[in-house]
Chains A and B, each alone.
Chain A
Amino acid sequence: MPAVSKGDGMRGLAVFISDIRNCKSKEAEIKRINKELANIRSKFKGDKALDGYSKKKYVCKLLFIFLLGHDIDFGHMEAVNLLSSNKYTEKQIGYLFISVLVNSNSELIRLINNAIKNDLSSRNPTFMCLALHCIANVGSREMAEAFAGEIPRILVAGDTMDSVKQSAALCLLRLYKTSPDLVLMGEWTSRVVHLLNDQHMGVVTAAISLITCLSQKNPDEFKTCVSLAVSRLSRIVSSASTDLQDYTYYFVPAPWLSCKLLRLLQCYPPPEDGAVKGRLVECLETILNKAQEPPKSKKVQHSNAKNAILFEAISLIIHYDSEPNLLVRACNQLGQFLQHRETNLRYLALESMCTLASSEFSHEAVKTHIETVINALKTERDVSVRQRAADLLYAMCDRSNAKQIVAEMLSYLETADYSIREEMVLKVAILAEKYAVDYSWYVDTILNLIRIAGDYVSEEVWYRVIQIVINRDDVQGYAAKTVFEALQAPACHENMVKVGGYILGEFGNLIAGDPRSSPLVQFNLLHSKFHLCSVPTRALLLSAYIKFINLFPETKSTIQEVLRSDSQIRNSDVELQQRAVEYLKLSSIASTDVLATVLEEMPPFPERESSILAKLKKKKGPGAVSVNELEEGKREAGELNGGGERGGDSSAISTPSPSADLLGLRAGHPVTAAAPSAGSLLVDVFSETGFIHYGRLMLLIFLRTHERTITKPVPFLAVPACLSASHTLLSLALRFVCKNNGVLFENQLLQIGIKSEYRQNLGRIYLFYGNKTSVQFVTFTTTLNVQSKPVEPLIEGGAQVQQVINIECLTDFSDAPLLNIKFRYGGALQNLTLKLPVTINKFFQPTEMASHDFFQRWKQLSQPQQEAQKIFKASHAMDTEVLKAKLLGLGMALLENVDPNPENFVCAGVIQSKAQQVGSLLRLEPNAQAQMYRLTVRSSKDTVSKRLCELLAEQF
């Protein structure tokens, strides 16, 4: 073996590296580097042609500087020149520089491709390998276009050297990953599959990675690989440790190849051919048997290699999920590892057992290890191992052990790492609900959860306990008693106060018979917490108080006194002050009957709202979570997002309706409108968004816990675009009511810009789809529920394509057109739906008119349905100029000197649609003191007034 002779290296480079290492400060280093860069630049620019050696040395220095983390903006051309040198070392440095520094959209790619082409056809295996390595390292689309046809030929040609075949196989794999559409195996398929039979183990090792990837995408075309893989595996597994010579690693025959073979088999169902299946089962048994044999070496490499194969075999057994005997053996083997002294093995055993727990054949066997796992949760020193233990407990939980597991998780929570508390809380909440036999246990558990980890209990969790208590009358008395007791603690978490306030407000009467929890005692207890709480909780407590007045008339005077006190009725917080005023008024003027109706007990929540949990509960139960189920969960969440209507019009009074007119109430209308008041009371506890988020969060934790069971590959650093898109869709579209250009949507992959212009009833929208990644998007399609010209199906990394949409407004409308975008990014399908920001106001023609005309028309539009009005809180600063700009952006004419009050704004315009013209007038009255607006819109068509009012209310 040649020791590295320093002489063969580049002395100037070594000196430079030493200099850098001797720099005492970052500044000194930068100075030295700048000096060197100046030197190299002058050499490259100099008149004297540089010889190959100098060029190599300078290019290498540049590479070193780049790898230190500095930017390099020259030298690329010199590196490309080196590629065509016939001296190997120069060529090699050239290729290294290109591999590290050239990104896919460099203009140099053509020159580079030329050099590669020459080397590939040189028939010199060393040069060919260099060229193939470069393609594999850069892997750009241009390279795929140039070489995807040639490389399969090299791969299967009879006279290709083994080492070149190896590089060709992996080179092709890389190109397939970046540009699957360009790599067509077609006629080569069967010859590539037969590389599994190649005599050279290295060729098989390289080829199998390619075959596995291709099989995942086209399982049918490659299915002949199954029997070949089984026989290859069988030969390796049954070989003696010395048979494979240099492919034996610490006495383990071909561990890498074995793992890859087992992985390949996981792309397919169990073999149908009985003989092949028998042989495979034999292999798996041998692997399990070997795990029991005494180790052939004490080295960790030996046990790692051996166990790597074992874990991969177990994955295959779990994937098949059809051999009870093997599943149970696998479980026992993992059970041994649970107590192994190697942390790595304990970690992996916990992880692998998680998937075993979901098989009906091994679920019971996994459960036998409960004590060990609980112990791991308590004693492991590494938080990532404890996390795995918690995951496994969650996965093995069923009705039989739920109480034990939940109790253990609760007690672990007291000391758990902050990083995993929130997830633990959700898991406990899910398990408690999923396996609750009696609901008093469930209530206890959630209250304990709040007591122990109140900060980590999200709204969703305490909303849920309230939903359940409301829906189940057998637990209401118990819940009231328990929260009452919990509130006795001198310091209790604010979330406990919220739950306590809500439950006592609803069901305090169930425990009021006991003198120890008489109405006044309950009230005093709640009120003792009041001053320590935040505004939202105080608001909730005030609502609870008004409910008390209804439940217990004897508390009325005490509570009225509290409401009347300066700290309430003059509270600096508008919300609290308003509640105090309104509730006080309500309690004094409403008759008992009215009060009883308004403050009636909450009706049961439709079961549909907890659908994800309900789903979980209905399913097979014991930790059986499959991909299927996950998808159902997703669909369910979608449903919640989309149509989350409460459907409670029958009981407008006590059903919280998302459209309850809180604002009208807040604007200080007389409290005679009792119904909305009840609306406000309930909405603040259960807002519509509350349970939508709940669904999302449950989905999130669900995904996190079970992502291991999903076999499809997860793209590197990709975002689940579909989730984030639907989430922000609405608010994004609203941003464009008063403007026409901007960024419509953006996530980590894609940016969509929009430019639009409107004239009369016609509009034109330009959409710009920008690819933010360096990988191209393929099969890019957009569909609109109106006509559009098709868009380019392919977007290069970093590139942008444009789409034009022509729009004609036929009649007035309120729903914006939906744009659905689909494309593939690195193999994963991305799907998102956006609302195009086309709103009715875009078709306004401004109309100028004098004060007299304005008021005359205003009076003409005096039918009640022609007017829409909204009173709302300012969500932005009330700056006159900004307001003007927004109103102009709306498309109407802003009329000066019309309204007698100069603070107010009035506008006029005509909406142009094909069917008709709709004249509209608008008046916006800001109240700077109250930070409120009153917006009034009158138009000749009632739907237009309503829609404009809705749109605009979101803009200020």
Chain B
Amino acid sequence: MQFMLLFSRQGKLRLQKWYAPLSDTQKKKISREVIQMVLARKPKMCSFLEWRDLKIVYKRYASLYFCCAVEDQENELITLEIIHRYVELLDKYFGSVCELDIIFNFEKAYYILDEFILGGEAQETSKKNVLKAIEQADMLQEEAETPRSVLEEIGLT
């Protein structure tokens, strides 16, 4: 896989993961192009698109589009299920996930993705194992919590 983008129906990028070395300007250009292309598609159309040397595989879940760019020889259907498994992982972790969860906890969305896919390839396809890894990290996190000042609690710093 070369990259994965999550974006809203309004074309706002919610998550971007790049597995190929590209400059920031290239990334911006590609995101714009791909988002525009996918948003122009009608509901019943097929989920695959040829784009440059790559294949775009996308699927819409509620208000969010999940979109992967894979190499030409890659399997489209299994990529579609990569997307679905990621959605399941987010859903299970956040408890019926919605776009806001991903906006406010974007770092978690990245952590979960890293546990599932690394370097553009599936690392662990078992839902249980991925969530176990995240859970363990969260446990470490809680142990590390320290008391904070009042100002901090109300979010003023």
Residues of A bordering B, CB below 8 Å: 1-4, 8-9, 11-12, 14-15, 17, 21, 53-54, 60, 63-64, 67, 69, 71, 87-90, 92-93, 96, 100, 103-104, 126, 129, 132-133, 136-137, 139, 163, 166-167, 170-171, 173-174, 177-178, 201-202, 205-206, 209, 246-247, 249, 254-257, 259, 263, 301, 304-305, 307-308, 311-312, 343-344, 346-348, 381-382, 384-385, 707-708, 711, 713-718, 773-775, 797
Contacts and interface: CB of A to CB of B under 8 A. Distances in A.
Interface in B115-132: 118-129, 131
A137 B114 contact: yes
Overall SS of chain A's interface:
helix
Interface string B141-157: 11011101000111111
27 contacts: A1-B92, A4-B101, A4-B105, A63-B107, A104-B21, A126-B133, A126-B136, A126-B137, A126-B140, A129-B133, A137-B119, A166-B124, A202-B123, A205-B125, A246-B127, A255-B78, A256-B122, A263-B73, A308-B75, A308-B76, A343-B45, A344-B47, A348-B48, A382-B44, A385-B46, A716-B71, A717-B20
Contacts of B105: 4, 9
* Most chain A CB neighbours (cut-off 10 Å) among B24, B45, B81, B95: B81
Contacts of B23: 103, 774
B4 to A, nearest CB: 13
B144 A256 contact: no
Given A173-B121, A246-B126, A259-B75, A53 B148 contact: yes
Contacts of B62: none
Given A60-B107, A178-B21, A343 B80 contact: no
A305 B104 CA distance: 32
A69 B16 CA distance: 11
A54 B118 contact: no
Given A89-B140, A129-B133, A311-B76, 18 more contacts: A1-B131, A2-B138, A3-B94, A4-B95, A15-B155, A60-B107, A67-B106, A71-B24, A87-B144, A178-B21, A202-B123, A246-B127, A256-B122, A304-B84, A343-B46, A382-B42, A384-B49, A385-B46
Nearest to B118: A170
Interface string B40-80: 00101111111011100000000000000001110111101
Contacts of A246: 126-129
Q: Which 9 residue pairs are nearest across A and B when measured between Cβ atoms?
A: A308-B77, A174-B119, A15-B155, A209-B121, A308-B78, A88-B140, A170-B118, A246-B126, A11-B155
B103 interface: yes
A344 B107 CA distance: 33
A170 B77 CA distance: 22
Contacts of A715: 53
Contacts of A174: 19, 118-120
A359 to B, nearest CB: 18
Contacts of A713: 71-73
B107 A136 contact: no
A96 B108 CA distance: 10
A26 B141 CA distance: 35
A716 B53 contact: yes
Contacts of B48: 344, 347-348, 384
* Most chain A CB neighbours (cut-off 10 Å) among B42, B50, B108, B154: B50
B77 A166 contact: no
B119 A170 contact: yes
Given A17-B104, A255-B78, A718 B46 contact: no
Contact of B85 (A129, A206, A249): A249
Given A173-B121, A206-B121, A246-B127, A312 B107 contact: no
Given A170-B119, A246-B129, A347-B48, A67 B81 contact: no
A10 to B, nearest CB: 9
Contacts of A9: 104-105
B93 interface: yes
Contacts of A177: 119
Given A170-B121, A246-B127, A304-B81, A348 B95 contact: no
Contacts of A205: 122-125
Given A381-B44, A382-B45, A305 B125 contact: no
Given A381-B44, A384-B45, A717-B53, A8 B135 contact: no
Nearest to A201: B126
B156 A12 contact: yes
Given A54-B157, A67-B16, A308 B81 contact: yes
A510 B82 CA distance: 67
A2 B124 contact: no
A8 B138 contact: yes
Contact of B154 (A11, A344, A707): A11
Nearest to B26: A717
A718 B156 contact: no
A522 B122 CA distance: 70
A210 B82 CA distance: 18
Nearest to B139: A2
B93 A96 contact: no
B13 interface: yes
Contacts of B72: 707-708, 713-714
A263 B73 CA distance: 9
Contacts of B82: 256
B15 to A, nearest CB: 8
A206 B125 CA distance: 9
* Most chain A CB neighbours (cut-off 10 Å) among B22, B73, B119, B137: B119
Nearest to A88: B140
Contacts of A797: 21
A133 B114 contact: yes
Contacts of A343: 44-47
B65 to A, nearest CB: 16
B144 A202 contact: no
Given A305-B78, A713-B73, A69 B21 contact: no
A20 B127 CA distance: 33
Contacts of A163: 124, 129, 133
A93 B77 CA distance: 33
B111 A92 contact: yes
A347 B47 CA distance: 9
Contact of B135 (A1, A21, A714): A1
A202 B125 contact: yes
Contacts of A60: 107
A775 B18 CA distance: 14
Contacts of B49: 384
Contact of A256 (B50, B93, B101, B125): B125
B93 A1 contact: yes
Contacts of A257: 125
A305 B77 contact: yes
A54 B152 CA distance: 9
Contacts of B156: 12
A45 to B, nearest CB: 16
Contact of A775 (B21, B47, B93, B141): B21
B46 A714 contact: no
B123 A170 contact: yes
Contact of A3 (B46, B71, B95, B107): B95
A385 B45 CA distance: 9
A14 B85 contact: no
B81 A301 contact: yes
B123 A312 contact: no
A17 B140 contact: no
B5 to A, nearest CB: 12
A523 to B, nearest CB: 49
A79 B127 CA distance: 30
A926 B103 CA distance: 68
Contacts of B46: 343-344, 346-347, 382, 384-385
A312 B126 CA distance: 21
* Most chain A CB neighbours (cut-off 10 Å) among B52, B104, B131: B104
Given A382-B44, A797-B21, A344 B77 contact: yes
A773 B82 CA distance: 29
B107 A304 contact: no
A420 to B, nearest CB: 11
